[in-house]
Amino acid sequence: MWDVLKVRALVREEGLKQSMRVFNWKELKILHGTGEYLMFDNRNKRNLTRRKALSLLGVGAGSIAVQAAFPTRFAIGGDAKIKIGTLLPYSGTYTWLGESITNSFEQALSSHGGKLGGRNFELIKVDSEAKPPKAAGLTNKLIDQEKVDFIVGPVHSGVAMAMTKIAREENMMTVIPNAGANQVTGPLCSPNVFRTSFSNWQPGHPMGKVLLEEGKNTAVLCYWSYGAGKQSAEGFKDSFVQGGGKVLKEIGIPFPKVEFQAALTEIAAIKPDAVYVFFAGAGAVKFVKDWAAAGLKDKIELVGPGFLTEGVTQAQGDAAEGIRTTLHYADTLDNAANRKFRAAYKRAFGKEADVYGVQGFDAGQLIRAGVDSVRGDVSAQYDMIAAMERAVIDSPRGKWVFSPAHNPVQNFYLREVRGGVNEVVRIAMENLADPARGCRA
């Protein structure tokens, strides 16, 4: 951990005479307000605003040089709309997820007279198609052509990897309302990137513990073999295998394929105590139906992170009944924010809300907390980030706060599908934080 003394010692040692050096964000935060030295991450200099550069400089002698070096991007005038680009799937396997996030995000933003920090805003919606190869081009388009102030997205971990690398480089304010890629709040963690959902490690981790507590010691894992599926399996194994459980087989299925027959035949032959799966959206509908049709429903316990039954129980029908999952949300959570949220969602969209909507809603609440704190001056990025870091989000999932890596610290619930509803059974793990391996925040 850095502290002021350490940084001052470093400054002496380095004989810091020039106004710019490459340091990390932690140092910048420490020095903010001391007025003694200017340090900042050189990667971000292109987007460092004049206001921010001046506030970081205090009364330092280097201020003239820095004023000349940085564009006055903030000087867009109080009347200009705040621009928010959503990079979400509006087609393909994850369409439901993207729409659910967008619906609730817009609902959160349209409260308070439809203004953010006193300013109007507009959304620029871009279809990510949940296709990682398209992510860099679409992210660059939002930044360079649309000149957005925030990016909200994505759903898919592969898209998140490409998007986050650019967002870090460009110092673009980014709120991730679903994609769980561990790296985003791990080695790629960044002051300007926040996540209102989960890391892939988180929802799987409690399920290993739940199974062991019930004496279920053998498992087969089956998942879409891209980042999210693999990391979800790792989260599960971190509790299950370390607690003495045995993984008999791991079966990867290429995303977004839904040909599950060979996997089901293999699982039936292995006969584990439980099968842990990662599928979501249309893939989850197909897997759960195929599982029941193969006659496995009453023979082997099917479990997973809650995406297996989120937003899809109507489509899954009877096949979903009794499936137990772990997640940071359940339909029946008994708190005022959840009751209000679900009723408003049903009224506006004529269908039940789900976890994706909750994450989108919280992304809206987070952006509001940040923009309100600077009264609409989104160029005051340091102060905005500080307010977002401090935010206590009054979410339908229950109140939560950010970890230092900008990932939610939150409860994980054991849930069961009863009558098409993901009901709470109990808290499986309380205030679970992602390990944030590799984050130097």
Give the footprint of ligand BEZ on this chain (CB under 6 A): 155-157, 178-181, 200, 228, 280, 307
Closest to 410 measured CA to CA, from 384, 381, 382, 430? 430
- Nearest-approach distance from CB 65 to ligand BEZ, in angstroms: 43
* β-strands 324-327, 408-418 pairing: antiparallel
**SS3 call for 79:** coil
- Beta carbon nearer to ligand BEZ, 157 or 410: 157
Helical spans, DSSP H, in 149-218: 157-170, 201-213
Question: Tokens 């409690």 correspond to what residue?
Answer: 206
- String of b and e for 220-252 (b: at least 16 CB within 10 Å)? bbbbbbbbbbbbbbbbbbbbbeeeebebebbbe
- Beta carbon nearer to ligand BEZ, 278 or 291: 278
- Nearest-approach distance from CB 354 to ligand BEZ, in angstroms: 11
Residue type, 83: K
- Nearest-approach distance from CB 147 to ligand BEZ, in angstroms: 27
- Beta carbon nearer to ligand BEZ, 85 or 180: 180
* β-strands 398-402, 408-418 pairing: antiparallel
- Beta carbon nearer to ligand BEZ, 280 or 414: 280
Residue type, 200: N
- Nearest-approach distance from CB 185 to ligand BEZ, in angstroms: 12
Closest to 138 measured CA to CA, from 84, 87, 214, 203? 87
- Nearest-approach distance from CB 40 to ligand BEZ, in angstroms: 31
* β-strands 393-395, 398-402 pairing: antiparallel
- Beta carbon nearer to ligand BEZ, 92 or 404: 92
DSSP string, 40-58: B-GGGGGG--HHHHHHHHT
- Nearest-approach distance from CB 355 to ligand BEZ, in angstroms: 9
- Nearest-approach distance from CB 161 to ligand BEZ, in angstroms: 10
Closest to 409 measured CA to CA, from 234, 196, 189? 196
Distance CA 129, CA 131 (A): 5
Which residues, listed in sequence order, are joined to residue 278 by a DSSP beta bridge? Answer: 223
- Nearest-approach distance from CB 184 to ligand BEZ, in angstroms: 9
